[in-house]
Each structure stands twice: as structure tokens, then as C-alpha cells.
Amino acid sequence: MRSAAVDITAEDGVCDAYVSRPDDRGPHPGVLFFPDGIGVRPRLYEMADRIAAEGYVVLLPNVFYRAGRAPIIPNLAELLAAGDRTKLMEAIWPVASSLTPANALRDTRFYLEYLASVANGPVGVTGYCMGAGLALRAAGTYPDRVAAVGGFHGGNLASDNPDSPHLLAGNVTAELYFGHADKDPSLPPEQIDRLAAALDAAGVRYRAEVYDGATHGYTMSDTSVYNEEAEQRHWSALFDLFARALSTVDY
């Protein structure tokens, strides 16, 4: 893989990001990768490279750039190594919760513009944890740019909030896939049902599955909630989705 650090000038500042692409010069479709609440770190670089190896130009932005360049938590490596999820969440929550939907959507325009400069045509979007909600919002706000969305162990995708991501379902033209975590307190059964009802009512092409025995964060091998079987299942689903929905184009 060929990877590089890039800076993307957005409306509210400069977003540091990671770009990974295959060794050959193309053509390759683009993929926007929204991180989980822990933020950009080595594990996510590995995942971006894994996607790029399938033939995509992948952009992984530090969505928390307003709080500083990645990693946003100075002692993140130590917190991850300790395996104490409570302390980890206490450290990251102030930053993760500060990203408003309005700011995230404004930033997404600049991420998509960057991808348009290196990969023509509609893109695929994947997101994890809070990133799954950002991915759904991207599809509902920029339907002309987003052809596919894969969301994994997403939280609060269909809450009672007036700006819940599921309320954008009527604007979505992309094909969607969701791999929900089993017994996930951030996405209880009533939200899963509410999301499905919204997508069905809007006529969205989608598939949603609950991964039995997998907890929230199951793809993240640098955390104590990692589930290898669920991670491999998610890769198969994501790559099948992108193979169907994205076409190889010149860039």
C-alpha cells in the first residue's frame, strides 16, 4: 500500500487525515472511513490499509481535529494497553461528545471534495461506533456523492433526538449495510426496529444483521471488546457491499 498523511482545509480549520491506496496507480474508487469515538490511531490505519488492499483510495480523517491533531488523547496507547474500558471512555468522551452533527456534516463536504480530487465518481463510506452514524448522515446529506454505506457497531442510529441519523433516510439513495452488535446499550432493539422502519418507509436498499455474541466495538483489535469472528464477518459484508455498489473509474 501507498499511504500518506494529508491536511484538509475545512471551514473550521485544518483536518489532519490518513490516505491509503493500492500500489498501482489505478483506476480506483474512493472510500471515506469514519472512525469510532476513540479516534484515529494505528488500529484504524491498519483497517484503512486493509480496505485499500481491495482496490480503493481510502481517506481516514481525524474528525476531532478541532481538539487537536491525532491522537487526540496524549496517553491513548497506555489506556488501550491497560484494557480498562471505563477509564478509556472517561478520557475520550469529552472530545468525542463535542462533535456536533452540524459540524460533522459541514466537515464531510470537504472530505468528499478531497476524495473527488483523487477518485472520480460516487464513493463508499464506512463507519464504526459513532462513525456509523456519521456515515448514515453523509448518505442522507450528500446522496449524489455516496453510493454505499457500511456501518458497524453503530450507536444511537435511531434515537428520539430531533437530529437522529435515521431521520435522513428519505434522502438516501445509497445501498446500506449495518452490522449491529448484540446487546449493545448504545443501540437497543427498539432503535434497531426504528431504523429498519425508517429505511423501509423510504424504500432504501439495505441489509441489517445483528452479530450474536459481539459487543459494541467488536472490530477494534486494540480494545478489550474485540471479537475476531465478528471482525471477519464485517470485512466480508463490507467488501461484498463495495463490490456491488462501486464501479472502478479513472481518477
Which residues are CB-neighbours of 188 under 8 A, at least 6 positions away? none
**Which amino acid, 231?**
E
Strands 206-211 and 123-128: unpaired
H-run or E-run covering 124: strand 123-128
List 15, 36, 166, 184, catalytic entry: 184
Beta-ladder partners of 30: 57
List 166, 180, 216, 234, catalytic entry: 216
List 129, 166, 180, 234, catalytic entry: 129
CA distances to 99, 132, 226 from 10, rounded to whole Å, are 14, 21, 33
Contact 112, 32 (CB under 8 A): yes
Of residues 241, 243, 106, the one with CA closest to residue 176: 241
Active site residue 184: yes
Q: Say whether 39 sits in a helix, a strand or coil.
A: coil
Active site residue 129: yes
Hey, what's the torsion of the CAs at 67, 73, 74, 78, to 10 degrees?
-170
Active site residue 216: yes
**Which amino acid, 143?**
P
- Catalytic positions are 129, 184, 216
